[in-house]
């Protein structure tokens, strides 16, 4: 019998390698000194010593671990305060803290949906939203990316009975484009559906106050279920679902990924509180980020690089074939530049891309180095093409 398992593992590995989909982790060492254009630390808060100090101080005060689940004895003042601050930031009556964004999405969908719920998801939604529907036993109908007409068509054709939920990313993680929140909200309202938005990449970056693409601009009537994550622009870890008191109470009762897990380590919550304070006190981080995005787009256009229509810190270069993406990523790595190399199945076939992300922490010199290296990739390719042709 154990042999059957070994055969199974070997076969799965072989198929994946054969398909060119094998994934590898790179262990980063502090001494590498590489330039990171692959992360989601958009405001440069993850490495800020003030967050580390707040985390250490929180751990000293409350302990390193969460000790128990929130419903047993793990819910501390620091968690409570964080939930209140997150609700205030996003202009909602209440918020519930989860350990990760993946769990927040699983929890919200599992608690809200059952097999009779009609779910409508953007085709490019994050994997955790699709997995949440599965956990709920609900079937997701997927509309073409950002296509309100297609959503409208699916909503019109859906059977009248059963509750309806429209689900979308706020900022699409592999494309960087922003969902039309007002359009989605209007479609949902016309068809008696609720709208849930996962603003993992918008929170901290978009909105007047870094409150995201939903935040205070779209209240709970437009977006009753708002998810935000804390491990991206806020430089910490965890996530939350914000909405009405009734929604948060419902999730507290029924969201299994909330109920059956240990509370977030209190030091992490303390670090997030510090990040929220810095978000408000240092708006220059967001203006610096906007400046870097504008400069990258201007100069990449001059270089003739295949920019996507994105105004966010996610700036993909869609190169097409996986091999091409892997070659460019390797050339960039030789020059100490780390970018995301995104292939199938994360994105559709033929749309493999370099996922370049910008951060307020990048220096002008680092951006120069990235643009130089990209120009070099292009030149190398032209050279290789010239050699290959007769």
Residues at the site binding ligand PLP, with contacts judged by CB under 6 A: 100-102, 105, 126, 128, 169, 173, 198, 200-201, 229, 231, 239
252 is in an annotated binding site: no
DSSP code, position 216? G
Minimum CB separation from ligand PLP for residue 198, in Å? Answer: 5
70 is in an annotated binding site: no
| Distances, alpha carbon 179 to alpha carbons 75, 200, 235, 309, in Å | 34, 12, 23, 12
Q: Which is nearer to ligand PLP, 110 or 191 (CB)?
A: 110
Is 189 labelled as part of a ligand binding site? no
Instruction: Determine contact, residues 236/268, Cβ cutoff 8 Å.
Output: yes
Q: Cβ closer to ligand PLP: 42 or 62?
A: 42
235 labelled ligand-binding: no
Q: Phi and psi of 168, rounded to 5°? A: -145, 150
The rounded distance, in Å, linking the Cα atoms of 303 and 284 is 28
What are phi and psi for residue 305, nearest 5 degrees?
A: -85, 150
| Smallest distance, ligand PLP to C-beta of residue 227, A | 7
Crossing angle (nearest 10°) for helices 101-112 and 245-254: 100
Nearer residue to ligand PLP within complex by CB, 128 or 351: 128
Rounded to a whole number of angstroms, the minimum distance from the CB of residue 251 to ligand PLP is 16
* 367 contacts 322 by C-beta, under 8 angstroms: no
120's torsion region: left (phi>0), alpha (psi -120 to 50) or beta?
beta
- Please choose, from the candidates 382, 283, 272, the residue with its C-alpha nearest in 3D space to the C-alpha of residue 324: 382
Q: Tell me the C-alpha distance between 229 and 28, whole Å.
A: 24
| 27 appears as a binding residue in the annotation | no
Report whether 359 contacts 318 (CB < 8 A). no
User: What is the helix (H) or strand (E) element at residue 312, kind and residue range?
Assistant: none
In the bound state with ligand PLP, the residue whose beta carbon lies nearer, of 223 and 367, is 223
Give whichever of 201 and 362 is closer to ligand PLP, judged by the CB atom: 201
**Residue 172 CB, nearest approach to ligand PLP (Å):** 8
Shortest distance in whole angstroms from residue 40 CB to ligand PLP: 7
User: Has 229 been labeled as part of a binding site?
Assistant: yes
Q: How far is CA 223 from CA 182, 198, 214, 219, 242, in A?
A: 9, 10, 8, 6, 10
Helix (H) or strand (E) holding 239: strand 239-243
Q: Find the residue with minimal CB distance to ligand PLP.
A: 101
Q: Give the nearest distance from C-beta 126 to ligand PLP in angstroms.
A: 4
> How many residues would you count in the chain?
390
101 annotated to a ligand binding site: yes
What residues are labeled active site? 173, 201, 232
Q: Which is nearer to ligand PLP, 247 or 314 (CB)?
A: 314
Residue ranges for the known binding site are 23, 101-102, 126, 173, 201, 229, 346
Binding residues for substrate: 23, 126, 346
Residues forming the annotated binding site for pyridoxal 5'-phosphate? 101-102, 173, 201, 229
């Amino acid at each position: 019998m154990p042999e059957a398992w070994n055969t199974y593992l070997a076969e799965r590995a072989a198929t994946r390698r054969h398909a060119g989909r094998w994934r590898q982790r790179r262990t980063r060492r502090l001494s590498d000194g590489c330039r990171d254009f692959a992360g989601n630390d958009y405001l440069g808060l993850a490495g800020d010593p003030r967050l580390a100090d707040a985390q250490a101080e929180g751990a000293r005060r409350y302990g390193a671990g969460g000790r128990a689940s929130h419903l047993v004895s793990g819910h501390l003042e620091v968690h409570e305060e964080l939930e209140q601050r997150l609700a205030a930031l996003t202009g909602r009556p209440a918020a519930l803290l989860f350990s990760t964004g993946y769990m927040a999405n699983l929890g919200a969908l599992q608690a809200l949906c059952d097999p009779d719920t009609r779910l409508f998801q953007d085709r490019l939604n994050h994997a955790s939203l699709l997995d949440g529907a599965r956990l709920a036993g609900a079937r997701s109908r997927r509309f073409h990316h950002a296509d309100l007409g297609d959503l409208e068509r699916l909503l019109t054709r859906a059977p009248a009975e059963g509750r309806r939920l429209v689900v979308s990313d706020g900022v699409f993680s592999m494309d960087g484009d922003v969902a039309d929140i007002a359009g989605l909200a209007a479609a949902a309202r016309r068809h008696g559906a609720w709208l849930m938005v996962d603003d993992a990449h918008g929170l901290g970056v978009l909105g007047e106050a870094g409150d995201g693409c939903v935040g205070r601009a779209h209240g709970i009537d437009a977006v009753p279920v708002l998810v935000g994550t804390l491990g991206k622009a806020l430089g910490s870890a965890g996530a939350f679902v914000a909405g009405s008191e009734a929604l948060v109470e419902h999730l507290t009762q029924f969201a299994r990924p909330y109920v059956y897990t240990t509370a977030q380590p209190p030091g992490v919550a303390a670090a997030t509180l510090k990040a929220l304070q810095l978000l408000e006190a240092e708006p220059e981080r967001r203006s610096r980020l906007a400046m870097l995005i504008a400069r990258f787009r201007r100069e990449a256009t001059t270089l003739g690089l295949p920019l996507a229509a994105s105004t966010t810190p996610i700036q993909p270069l869609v190169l097409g074939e996986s091999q091409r993406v892997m070659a460019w990523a390797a050339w960039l790595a030789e020059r100490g530049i780390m970018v995301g190399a995104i292939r199938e199945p994360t994105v559709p076939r033929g749309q493999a891309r370099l996922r370049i992300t910008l951060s307020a922490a990048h220096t002008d010199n680092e951006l120069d180095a990235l643009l130089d290296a990209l120009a070099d990739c292009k030149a190398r390719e032209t050279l290789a093409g010239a050699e290959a042709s007769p």
